[in-house]
Structures are given as C-alpha cells and as structure tokens.
Amino acid sequence: MIAFTLRRLWWLAVTLWAVFTITFVLMRSVPGGPFDRERVVPPEIKRNLERRYNLDRSPWEQYWLELGRLIQGDLGHCMNLGDYSVNYVIAQGLPVSAALGILALAFAVTLGLTTGVISAAMRGSALDVLLRLVATAGIALPSFVVASLAILLLVFYVPVFPAAGWGSLSQLALPAFCLGAPYAAEIARISRTSMLEALSHDYIRTARAKGVGRAGVLLVHGLRNALLPVASFLGPAVAGILTGSLVVEQIFAIPGLGVYFVKAALQRDWTLSMGVVLVYTVVLYVMNFLVDLSYGYLDPRVEYDA
C-alpha cells in the first residue's frame, strides 16, 4: 500500500509538470497577450506591466521562472484582477465549486444507484421501461440544457428555487441537480447492468436457497458486487462535473472557480489560467486515486502492490 501511494505521488508530480509545460506552450502560442485590450494601453505602462510579470524575457526564461515559483507553491499574481494573487482567488472560488461539485456528485450517486437497483429488481416491468427512458434522456441532455429547462419550470412557472446567487442551500440545490442529472442517468444505466449481472451468479441463488429475503439479496449480496463498475465511472464523472460546473456556475451566477477560469481565458490572464488548470489536475488525480483505493474495499482480491 505504501509503495502504491508513493508511486502515485511520483506520477502526480510528473503529470503536473506535463500539464504545466503543455499549458505554458499553448497559452503563448495563441496570438495576443494579457495586455492586448480593446482600450489601447500606453506603451510605457505596457512595458512596465510586462516587466512586472517577466514577459519582457524570453519564453525559455519565463518557463523556468514560473516552474521554480510553482515548485515553491506560489502561483503568482493575476494579470487582470488588480493586485490579487492566484492563490487568493483559488482560495475564494474553490470552496464554492467544491460544495457544488460534491453535492452534484452525491446527488448523482444516490439517485443513480437507487434508480438502477429498482430497475434491475423490476426487470421487464413498466417501471423498468420508464426508468430506462428517463435515464436515456438524461444521458442525451447536457447540463446547460437541463439547467435551462429547470429554470423555466422551477423558477418561473413554479417558483420553488431562486434563479441565481449563492449563500443558502436553496440556491445550491437547483444548480447541483442540473450538474449531476446527466451523471445520475449514466450511473443508473451502469448500476442496472452490473446489478443484473451480479444477480445471475451462483452465490445469489445460494443466498436465496438459504432463505435470504429479496431486500437482503439485492442490498447485501448483489449491490456490493455491482458497485465496482460504478466506482470506475466516478473518475470520469468528476472530470465531467468539473468541466460542466464552468457552464452551470455562469448560468446561476455562482462565484465559483469556474467563473474566474472563464474570465481568465477570455482576458488571456495566463497566471490565473495556469493556476486553475493545475488545481483541476490535482483534483482529478486525487479523485482517481480514491477510486483506485475503493477497489480494495469493494473487491478484496485487488492487490495494490502487485
């Protein structure tokens, strides 16, 4: 287990270096710069700004200066947000995006697993067909379409939730639902398939022969063995929720990290864009690591150090 963790930490460092290098090259390959705006900046001010952010140096020197600063844990200062540091902006926006993402993921897992188990337990019934149709529609609709429909239905026609904002659970519930709905549909489809496969094994028939009730067969013997494909899906689901939160935060005016990332991309704020990309990389890597650890709990045959 220790060797496995150390290997993953080593590959995290390698991954961060690769992402940093690729992002650095791509940002400087795009025409224009962070101080090329519609309102022309006087040449003296532009030179001073470039000197402050080391943009007057060669790209090779900029690369090593930024890499050295990153190793020290300093992401630099934002180029278009006054005198705010990237670390400060991330510290302000990340908890908001994390709360939205965690609630969306919890909603997706809870609703998806419940729907998948019920659909598998009632295979071939009218309810099974209805749930599969809803799941198919949920997979086909992206989060911004779900958000638009939810705002029309639950904000304007039936005013249950506020249209936008941040600070209360009611303001977080609707964005989390819109963000997690497509992944709940996908989890429902995966859990139904894996549950049907688990229920066809010999140990299920043995449990039924011993007099175990239907609920015990489904939840104790079948569900745990059906969770492994769902756990494998959680890694890509986190990636999708992170990228989808950029749009959802814009629609619902949530002051999360996605709002800053969109502004940084539009304004060519290289330091803030780099910081957000690296933070997303760390979050995805950590979530994939936790998914790998969950394999050992769900299937004791998994050996991490093999």
Q: CATH number of the domain at 214, please.
A: 1.10.3720.10
Q: Estimate to the nearest angstrom the gap between the alpha carbon of 43 and the chain centroid.
A: 41
The burial class, CB within 10 Å (0-12 / 13-18 / 19+), for 190 is buried
**121 domain residue, yes or no:** yes
**225 domain residue, yes or no:** yes
pLDDT at 45: 62
DSSP codes, 78-95? -SSSTT-BHHHHHHHHHH
pLDDT over 60 at 38, yes or no:
no
pLDDT at 300: 64
For Cα atoms 122, 138, 220, give the angle at the middle one, nearest 5 degrees. Answer: 40
Model confidence band, residue 19 (pLDDT cutoffs 50, 70, 90): very high
**280 domain residue, yes or no:** no
- Name the pTM for this structure: 0.78
Residue 143's domain comprises 94-255
The burial class, CB within 10 Å (0-12 / 13-18 / 19+), for 61 is exposed
**213 domain residue, yes or no:** yes
**141 domain residue, yes or no:** yes
Query: Left if phi > 0, otherwise alpha if psi is -120 to 50, otherwise beta: which for 72?
Result: alpha
Q: How far is CA 244 from CA 135, 218, 265, in A?
A: 18, 33, 16
- Per-residue pLDDT tens over the stretch 123-138: 878 888 888 888 888 8
**117 domain residue, yes or no:** yes
**19 domain residue, yes or no:** no
Q: Which residue has the tokens 């071939």?
A: 124
287 vs 210: CA distance, rounded Å: 39
pLDDT at 216: 67
Helix 143-151 vs helix 169-199: crossing angle, to nearest 10: 130
**152 domain residue, yes or no:** yes
- Tell me the mean pLDDT in the region 81-110: 85
In the chain, how many domains are there?
A: 1
Phi first, then psi, for residue 83 (nearest 5°) are -110, 25
